[in-house]
Structure 1
Amino acid sequence: MTDSTCDFYCGKILKGLLDVPVYYENERVFAFHHTNPLWENHVVLLPKKHVESLITLEDADNDLLLELMQTAKMIAGDFMARFGAARVYTNLGEYQSSKHLHWHIGAGPQLRPY
């Protein structure tokens, strides 16, 4: 398992070492406006608990996964209402730059290449 102090989200974002514009937060999940957005409207959603990726979730994490999906649904619904479309995805393996489970939720024109 990856040392959770070494991933970007545990090491910087969740410790408050990098100031990010908060979209939504509760005791288990954190969503913020991406600081280098890929789309005009780009939110990153992650669990506060370190989980490496979608495929490393365990049965004990089912409630957390449900809460993450409900939050993703809420954010995507907001984007749909305001912008008429939304993207929701997570990356795995070499496509995952930070080994901490997170979803990208975006809407609007793409601002830079992937």
Structure 2
Amino acid sequence: MPDPSCDFYCEKILKGLLNVPIYFENERVFAFHHTNPLWENHVVLLPKKHVESLLTLEEGDNDLLLELMRIAKLIAGDFMARFGAARVYTNLGDYQSSKHLHWHIGSGKQLRPY
């Protein structure tokens, strides 16, 4: 298993070393407004527990995955109500810049290239 100290979310975000505008937080998950958004409205959702990616989730993580999906649904529903559209996705492999499972939830005009 990778060392959690090598990922941006464990090292900076979850330790509070980088001030981010919080969208939602509970004991298991954290969601914040992206500090360099790709879209006009862009939230990042992640587990507080280190999980490398969607592919490394284990049977014991099923409750955590359900919690992540519950909050993704909540955020996407909020975006749908306010902006009329939403996108929800996670990246894998070379597309995953930080090796900590996270979802992007966005809406609105794209502000910069991928």
Class of the TM-score when normalised by the shorter of the 2 chains:
over 0.9
Alpha-carbon distance in 1 for matches of 2:88, 2:4: 24
Once the two structures are superposed, what CA deviation does each residue of 1:15-49 show, in whole Å capped at 9, x if it has no partner?
00000000000000000000000000000000000
* 1:93 and 2:90 matched: no
* 1:76 and 2:76 matched: yes
Query: Which residue is equivalent to 2:109?
Result: 109
1:1-114 alignment, distance < 5 Å: 1-114=1-114
Alpha-carbon distance in 2 for matches of 1:26, 1:37: 23
- TM (normalized to structure 1)? 0.99
Q: What's the Cα RMSD here?
A: 0.3
Gaps of 5+ in 2: none
Q: Deviation of residue 76 (structure 1)?
A: 0.0
Q: How many residues align?
A: 114
Gaps of 5+ in 1: none
Alpha-carbon distance in 2 for matches of 1:3, 1:112: 31
Alpha-carbon distance in 2 for matches of 1:11, 1:24: 19
- TM (normalized to structure 2)? 0.99
